[in-house]
């Protein structure tokens, strides 16, 4: 693997580093990081053994690939010399809402640019990341992208216009799942269960159902129907969800997040 520099050392950068090291894709000597002065780089360095560079030029010059893992709003605050430092390097961005055209303005001399949209389960290697490239990737760069993003979980390559919908679905999706989990917990408590018991039942139901869905290979509707007896308890609950247009609400939720992503991206 080429040398990889992380501009930012927060949760996602840490997850990538952990995945790369845990899968023996890289050695600590192959990785380095920098932060905006919040101390996260030193913490990541101390925990993993990778280098923490104090100077941006030194960080980038020693690397073949630069991963942008800082806050999206920090893109305009980056050292003006970064355009030159990144000359000839692969730049991979996980900055939400920053399109390839914008990245090309900041890194005009980069070898190539990749924009990726991970999600928070990537922190434990269970994420899904969609990505797109500014130009077709040469095999070596594709292997690098696959390794870096694969450290977070599964990956899918898409056209850039689709990344706003990805943001609305899988990027924001964990929050919807967490909200549903909280709703199940609260509903169980309202039905007469102790709060801790309701939470345990809700969490294990979500975990087990997700595993069953992933392993069965069946459509979710098929598994739903296996649980549902005519005029039974599940049928009664599903009837209420249908009456309140549950699917319509989820559709509106994803579309609202997608439209906001377009606004933030300037498209």
Exposure class string for 145-155: b at 16+ Cβ within 10 A, else e: bebbbbbbbeb
Query: Are both 42 and 156 inside the same structural domain?
Result: yes
The owner of tokens 């009664």 is: 236
> Domains in the chain: how many in total?
2
Query: Are both 49 and 137 inside the same structural domain?
Result: yes
Query: Are both 36 and 125 inside the same structural domain?
Result: yes
Where helices occur in 49-113 by DSSP H, the ranges are 56-61, 82-85, 100-106
Does the residue 134 lie in any domain? yes
Q: Give pTM, 2 decimals.
A: 0.91
Does the residue 97 lie in any domain? yes
Structure tokens at 45: 């360095």
Query: Are both 53 and 141 inside the same structural domain?
Result: yes
Does the residue 166 lie in any domain? no
The closest alpha carbon to 93, from 123, 77, 117, 109, belongs to 117
Per residue in 226-246, pLDDT tens? 999 999 999 999 999 999 999
| pLDDT score, position 59 | 87
Query: Are both 136 and 236 inside the same structural domain?
Result: no
Which residue ranges in the chain fall short of pLDDT 50? none
| pLDDT score, position 75 | 80
Does the residue 215 lie in any domain? yes
| pLDDT score, position 266 | 77
Q: What is the CATH number of the domain that holds 108?
A: 3.40.50.720
Query: Are both 129 and 248 inside the same structural domain?
Result: no
Rounded Cα distance, 115 and 104, in Å: 11
| pLDDT score, position 58 | 85
Domain end (from 122, 140, 160) = 160
Query: Are both 146 and 175 inside the same structural domain?
Result: no
Rounded Cα distance, 148 and 128, in Å: 12
| pLDDT score, position 78 | 76
Rounded Cα distance, 206 and 211, in Å: 9
Strand pairing category for 65-68 and 90-93: parallel
Does the residue 102 lie in any domain? yes
Structure tokens at 67: 């991963």
Domain that holds residue 245: 171-265
Query: Is residue 115 within 8 Å of 136, Cβ to Cβ?
Result: no
| pLDDT score, position 123 | 93
Query: Are both 210 and 151 inside the same structural domain?
Result: no
Could you tell me which residues are beta bridge partners of residue 130? 117, 156
Does the residue 76 lie in any domain? yes
| pLDDT score, position 62 | 87
Per residue in 43-95, pLDDT tens? 999 999 999 988 888 888 889 999 999 888 878 777 778 888 889 999 999 99
Rounded Cα distance, 137 and 123, in Å: 26
| pLDDT score, position 54 | 82
Query: Are both 242 and 139 inside the same structural domain?
Result: no
Does the residue 81 lie in any domain? yes
Query: Are both 190 and 154 inside the same structural domain?
Result: no
Query: Are both 89 and 36 inside the same structural domain?
Result: yes
Query: Are both 93 and 195 inside the same structural domain?
Result: no
| pLDDT score, position 77 | 77
Domain end (from 160, 192, 227) = 160
The closest alpha carbon to 59, from 25, 22, 13, 95, belongs to 13
Rounded Cα distance, 94 and 116, in Å: 5
Rounded Cα distance, 148 and 4, in Å: 9
Other CB atoms closer than 10 Å to residue 10's CB: what's the count?
Answer: 18
Does the residue 165 lie in any domain? no
Q: What is the CATH number of the domain that holds 179?
A: 1.10.3730.10
Domain end (from 104, 126, 160) = 160
């Amino acid at each position: 693997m080429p040398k990889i520099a992380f501009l930012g050392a927060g949760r996602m950068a840490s997850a990538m580093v952990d995945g790369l090291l845990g899968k023996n894709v890289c050695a600590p000597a192959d990785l380095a990081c920098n932060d905006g002065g919040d101390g996260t780089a030193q913490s990541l360095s101390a925990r993993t053994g990778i280098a923490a560079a104090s100077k941006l030029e030194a960080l980038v010059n020693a690397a073949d690939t630069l991963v942008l893992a800082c806050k999206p709003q920090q893109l305009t605050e980056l050292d003006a010399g970064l355009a030159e430092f990144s000359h000839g390097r692969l730049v991979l961005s996980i900055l939400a809402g920053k399109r390839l055209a914008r990245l090309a303005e900041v890194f005009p001399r980069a070898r190539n640019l990749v924009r990726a949209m991970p999600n928070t389960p990537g922190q434990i290697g269970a994420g899904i990341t969609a990505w797109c490239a500014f130009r077709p990737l040469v095999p070596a760069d594709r292997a690098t992208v696959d390794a870096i993003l694969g450290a977070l979980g599964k990956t899918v390559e898409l056209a850039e216009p689709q990344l706003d919908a990805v943001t609305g679905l899988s990027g924001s999706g964990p929050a919807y799942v967490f909200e549903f989990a909280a709703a199940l917990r609260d509903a169980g408590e309202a039905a007469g269960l102790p709060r801790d018991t309701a939470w345990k039942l809700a969490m294990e139901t979500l975990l087990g159902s997700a595993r069953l869905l992933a392993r069965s290979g069946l459509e979710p509707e098929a598994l739903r129907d296996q649980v549902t007896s005519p005029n039974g308890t599940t049928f009664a609950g599903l009837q209420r969800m249908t009456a309140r247009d549950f699917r319509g609400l989820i559709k509106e939720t994803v579309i609202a997040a997608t439209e906001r992503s377009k606004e933030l991206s300037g498209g």
